[in-house]
Structure 1
Amino acid sequence: MIKRLFFCLFAWVMCSGLSVRAQEGPLPFFRSFLDGNLNKITFPGPNEPGASGRAADGNYKRINRAVLNQWGLQLTRGKEEIGAFYLPEYIFSTQDGLLIEFEYIMMYTNAEEIGITDGICMFLVDATTNEYIGSNLKYGAEGAGFGYTHRRSGHTDIRYGVTSITGMKGGYLAVALDQGHFKNWRFENYEMRNGIPYGDAGIANVQSATYNTRSNVTIRGAAGRGEKVITTSLKTHRIAEGRWGYPVLITRHTGWDEKTGLEDPNSDGLRNKAGFMLNTQTGMYEQYVVPRIDNPFCIAGGKLFYHSDESAYRKAIIALEPNTIGGGFRITVTIQHGTEKTVVIENYTYPSSLLYTENGIPAQFIPGEYPTITYYSNPPQTELALKTPEKLAIGFMASTGQLTSYTNIIRNLRITPLYGANAEDDIYNHRRGPVIVRPLDNDVAYRLVGNQPGASKDNLDLTSFRIWTDEKHCLGDGQFEHEEKGVGKWKYNPESGEMTFFPAKDVGGEAVIWYDIKSIHSPYVAEKYRSSLAKIVINFTDDEG
């Protein structure tokens, strides 16, 4: 027997009694986006919907394009699109740790295209009140803004293509799978936005153009609250809420991409050079390339995939650990590419207040058909002070720019407590007859060792194992047998942790069963720390039963 294992994302799904349906909300959350289920998912609209004009089909260019297809929830496919959704009924406390995991597909819609596109981001928005969620949640600028940030424009006439756009009000954090632009300072007639300046920009704190890379993980901070007044020697700027803040906090380059050959995979290249972090005390960007990335990879897999043993496989793993000193979170972002997992950003501490450079405001602005705009060579710095919201809502967006049609898809989204049990998928190849497998050998649960949680398979409560017939239906506690007509019979042993499968005569293809499990140790014995669903797959290599 050949066994292939790939990591299964966490999910929390609650059930009790015989053949009951999974409960919905509050957290934890799981959705495969492969079964047509969009229950309790909201698709917000844009701020200033006409700010980018209309596409050839007559619709606004920034219309929400999110749709389900056979590969998952497709957020974008064309040019100048945004796909955005959030989970209004799955609010979590910032006192809780959180693990957010999702598989994603990022690829050129037209294979011959090679232009730079944008990417996918996970965002958190203040959910303490209804001021920023519900019908008030609107996304921001397309393209490099990823729907999260604002865009200040020198144009006031839509005939010239773009006008200013308000960013996501109440936004607290955005973690982006960044194809290159989310991290950047932009200052053009049609877009002014703060960020990291690269190249010969004539601006303070500029970084080498060599480090203006594609394929990054980038984190931006909170939207400014209320009106911001910034006074310089030239003028006083009064900036409305939703049009300041969103500073780049940290960015790391992951390696080359498949279109440009940006980095030689056999060299150290830029992956351990092109990284910057905001010094929150000085407001300046400093080179930061910790931890070391040993093997370069493209943030986009560039192709469709089925399983994690394919080179195109991509999964984002975002861990938010409460920061007990100063509020906020410690953030770790890991990307799984193929079977390898690479930590790109590790234990970044997001403070509750910081200083940043607001380099996206014009020093001089003379409106007109061709407005005159100049920028500050030494842009003003300003404080972004924000008490960490007590509650946050979570959402996701993808964005494309003007030049490239790009397909962005996510699936198998799991949002769980940080120290929930971890159940991984198990895939077996089998020729004929009954088979006994040990699916729990690669699973773990937590227990406190001193004051620290430690993970081991020895912490699993074998009797807490529950069988699910699919991702929606659980047999219930203590129900250890299930028979599917024409497929076979499953029987779990709660003493040994073994699962026996008796295939039906002449069965072929694959047989699948789902399960979850939890820890035997307090406090992780609580139901909220139960694992995500994992699946056991028996692939038959011939047609014999």
Structure 2
Amino acid sequence: MMMFVEIYARKLFENITRKAVKSCSVLLMFLGLGVYGQTGTTQFPYFLSLQEGNSPPPGVFLPGTNNRAKFTNEGLFLTELKQFQFGAILLQDLAFNSNNGIDVSFEFNIYDGDIVGTDGILMFLYDGSIPDKDMHMGATGRSLGYVFSRAGESAKSKRAKGVPGAYLGVGFNISGNFKVKNFGESARINGTDYGWPGGSLQGVSHVTLRGAEMKLPQSDPYQGYRGYPVLKTVSTVSVDKMNRGGAYIMSNGVYKYDFGTQLPEKETFNLRNGAIANSSEDVNYRKAYISLIPHIEGGFKVSVKVQHGKEITTIIDDYHYETSVQYYENAESINGDFSNQDENVEGEQKLFTLDSSVPEIFKIGFAGVTGGRENVHMIRNLRISLPYSAEATDKAFEVCDVSTSTFYSLLNDIAYSGHISNPIGANENIDPYSFSFYNADMTPMVNPYLYEDDCGKWEYNPEDGMISFFPKPLFSLKKAIAKYSIKGKSGGNGEPYGEESYRSNVASITLSSKSCSMPINPSVRTRVNQK
């Protein structure tokens, strides 16, 4: 029962407005819902405002000794306005099964300092079986805390391994260097070739996917220094048609470069928003949406969208991250990193096959980095949920003040059917018997089809999805509000929509009174178009 309550309470938390509403319902005060889990995996959806004061929320860990991440009532500041800053968090108590994919969203603000911008923000997934004591971040700077940074033997103190058990890194890279190879005495990293527009910046404002760590034994000197290849990268700004605007890795490990602007011209924008924005009414508002959907051939379909102002633009659309990836280590010394002989002479690139099989359990982390330039990096309002959960919508009706009214309760709600790699959303996919009312304290009703308060009595009929409302005298003075949720139907293999973790958000039905002498039906059952 407690797990059931927590799922819905968290969804309600996200739907509560800050405006007081006069109703017959009790006003609930939510003081913050902490990280929670059961037998090593987390129940969804998960929400963390990152605006709860100056202490890390339960289950949030700050890795490393030079970590500058700062919790505030405004958000989580990953970097200060200084050069060479690094901040990161690991949600170590948040483990989730990878079978059904994941949706991640968060607001971000990158502002002040250099108008060109510096490195950026990273969201990453790693193997949840890695012991917490063994977890650390990758190199800073162009590596964004995810990838390694190798170095020659004479500069071996500059070496830094990548994230252990890394699976996927999503970089919101302001300077553009996260995607580009580098071969130097004290910094070596694989990536796309040089030649991006912008000189030393190498193509600004990119969303970049990097892949998994190469699985090597601890005895191998390159353990932690292999893998993490660039999978796909896309610029969010306008690019001249003669210049590179994106790239992706082909099956042979070679990069294919796309030229010119990669987004519709009217939807181009800079990831660096330049100011803290509190709502989508502000053109500076930025929110990232990252989706991993299981691919029918294995691996995931990865999509990244960014909201800028009111517009939501797809940057990376259904990229197939396969379970095996051919790639080149293309920042190699002629005699390897561990030899003093010609240690800074670049050699031939080497082809590798990366095992990018999906870990059974994922965990998640975030990082922010500045290099030689300065910016503030801040994130907040993190939400993690399962793709294709049922969707309930708030709705309002005007009904009779003194006589019984009946209306269709599932208007505009949808659930999904079909394999999770390509589901279909529709109203008829809702399991009508999954409907549940909630008490004022957000516990589910013992009888999920009945709810009563000072305004009246609600009765739900699972046969047709209709609710009958029997008003009380107080209803003529106040609005009546009831909360409910739904699920999809149980299906076959790859159709998990009937599971509790796929239950919808908690939605509200608001009734206002209308003087009438006869019962009225304020709505008729309506078929909703498929998504």
**TM-score normalised over the length of structure 1:** 0.69
Decide whether aligned partners of structure 1 residues 138 and 492 sit closer, same or farther in structure 2, where only a CA change above 3 A counts: farther
Instruction: Return the match for 1:420 from 371, 389, 399.
Output: 389
Decide whether aligned partners of structure 1 residues 302 and 421 sit closer, same or farther in structure 2, where only a CA change above 3 A counts: farther
> Which residue number in structure 1 is paired with residue 444 of structure 2?
476
Q: Which residue identity does 1:77 align to in structure 2? A: E
Question: Does 1:137 pair with 2:138?
Answer: no
Are the counterparts in 2 of residues 177 and 215 from structure 1 also a CA contact under 8 Å? yes
> Which residue number in structure 2 is paired with residue 193 of structure 1?
189
Are the counterparts in 2 of residues 43 and 64 from structure 1 also a CA contact under 8 Å? no
**How far is the alpha carbon of 1:529 from its aligned partner?**
0.5
**How far is the alpha carbon of 1:383 from its aligned partner?**
2.4
Q: Provide, for residues 489-545 of structure 1, a one-character-per-residue CA deviation record: whole Å limited to 9, x for no partner.
A: 999885668999x99999xxxxx99875433665523211112467899xxxxxxxx
Are the counterparts in 1 of residues 107 and 381 from structure 2 also a CA contact under 8 Å? yes
> Which residue number in structure 1 is paired with residue 180 of structure 2?
184
Are the counterparts in 1 of residues 295 and 320 from structure 2 also a CA contact under 8 Å? yes
> Which residue number in structure 1 is paired with residue 281 of structure 2?
309
**How far is the alpha carbon of 1:271 from its aligned partner?**
12
Question: Does 1:42 pair with 2:60?
Answer: yes
Question: Does 1:383 pair with 2:353?
Answer: yes
Partners of 1:320 and 1:455 lie apart in 2 by: 18
Decide whether aligned partners of structure 1 residues 423 and 163 sit closer, same or farther in structure 2, where only a CA change above 3 A counts: farther
Are the counterparts in 1 of residues 62 and 88 from structure 2 also a CA contact under 8 Å? yes
Are the counterparts in 2 of residues 45 and 64 from structure 1 also a CA contact under 8 Å? yes
**How far is the alpha carbon of 1:208 from its aligned partner?**
6.4
Are the counterparts in 2 of residues 106 and 300 from structure 1 also a CA contact under 8 Å? yes
Decide whether aligned partners of structure 1 residues 38 and 533 sit closer, same or farther in structure 2, where only a CA change above 3 A counts: farther
Q: Provide, for residues 324-367 of structure 1, a one-character-per-residue CA deviation record: whole Å limited to 9, x for no partner.
A: 42x32121222222222222112211122222111222226899
Q: Which residue identity does 1:421 align to in structure 2? A: A
> Which residue number in structure 1 is paired with residue 149 of structure 2?
151
Partners of 1:246 and 1:451 lie apart in 2 by: 25
Question: Does 1:77 pair with 2:45?
Answer: no
**How far is the alpha carbon of 1:116 from its aligned partner?**
3.0
Instruction: Return the match for 2:269 from 287, 291, 297.
Output: 297
- Structure 1 gap segments, 5+ residues each: 1-10, 50-62, 200-206, 230-237, 256-262, 428-436, 484-488, 507-511, 538-545
Alignment of 1:282-361 (within 5 A): 283-288=253-258, 293-294=263-264, 295-325=267-297, 327-361=298-332
Partners of 1:141 and 1:449 lie apart in 2 by: 39
Corresponding residue pairs, total: 451
Q: Would you tell me which structure has more helix in proportion to its own residues?
A: 2
Q: Tell which has more relative contact order, 1 or 2 (C-alpha 8 A, sep 6+).
A: 1
> Which residue number in structure 1 is paired with residue 161 of structure 2?
166
> Which residue number in structure 2 is paired with residue 453 of structure 1?
423
Are the counterparts in 2 of residues 41 and 85 from structure 1 also a CA contact under 8 Å? no
Question: Does 1:13 pair with 2:7?
Answer: yes
Decide whether aligned partners of structure 1 residues 409 and 239 sit closer, same or farther in structure 2, where only a CA change above 3 A counts: same
- Mean Cα deviation higher: 190-199 or 285-294: 285-294
Structure 2 residue matching 1:315: 3-state secondary structure: strand
> Which residue number in structure 2 is paired with residue 88 of structure 1?
92
Decide whether aligned partners of structure 1 residues 77 and 151 sit closer, same or farther in structure 2, where only a CA change above 3 A counts: same
Are the counterparts in 1 of residues 245 and 260 from structure 2 also a CA contact under 8 Å? no
Question: Does 1:214 pair with 2:217?
Answer: no
> Which residue number in structure 2 is paired with residue 275 of structure 1?
246
Q: Provide, for residues 202-255 of structure 1, a one-character-per-residue CA deviation record: whole Å limited to 9, x for no partner.
A: xxxxx66689321111110111122599xxxxxxxx742111111111101111
Are the counterparts in 2 of residues 316 and 336 from structure 1 also a CA contact under 8 Å? yes
Decide whether aligned partners of structure 1 residues 120 and 442 sit closer, same or farther in structure 2, where only a CA change above 3 A counts: farther
Q: Would you tell me which structure has more strand in proportion to its own residues?
A: 1
Partners of 1:439 and 1:299 lie apart in 2 by: 41
Instruction: Return the match for 1:67 from 55, 67, 70.
Output: 70
**How far is the alpha carbon of 1:115 from its aligned partner?**
4.2
Q: Which residue identity does 1:196 align to in structure 2? A: T
Instruction: Return the match for 2:488 from 511, 516, 519.
Output: 519
**How far is the alpha carbon of 1:134 from its aligned partner?**
1.1
What percentage of residue pairs aligned between the two structures are identical?
27
- Mean Cα deviation higher: 215-224 or 388-397: 388-397
Decide whether aligned partners of structure 1 residues 332 and 368 sit closer, same or farther in structure 2, where only a CA change above 3 A counts: closer
Partners of 1:228 and 1:135 lie apart in 2 by: 16
**How far is the alpha carbon of 1:424 from its aligned partner?**
6.6
Structure 2 residue matching 1:274: 3-state secondary structure: strand
Q: Which residue identity does 2:36 align to in structure 1? A: E
Structure 1 residue matching 2:268: 3-state secondary structure: coil
> Which residue number in structure 1 is paired with residue 18 of structure 2?
none
> Which residue number in structure 2 is paired with residue 250 of structure 1?
232
Partners of 2:490 and 2:355 lie apart in 1 by: 40
**How far is the alpha carbon of 1:38 from its aligned partner?**
5.0
Structure 1 residue matching 2:501: 3-state secondary structure: helix
**How far is the alpha carbon of 1:457 from its aligned partner?**
4.5
CA RMSD of the aligned region, Å?
Answer: 4.7
**How far is the alpha carbon of 1:105 from its aligned partner?**
1.9
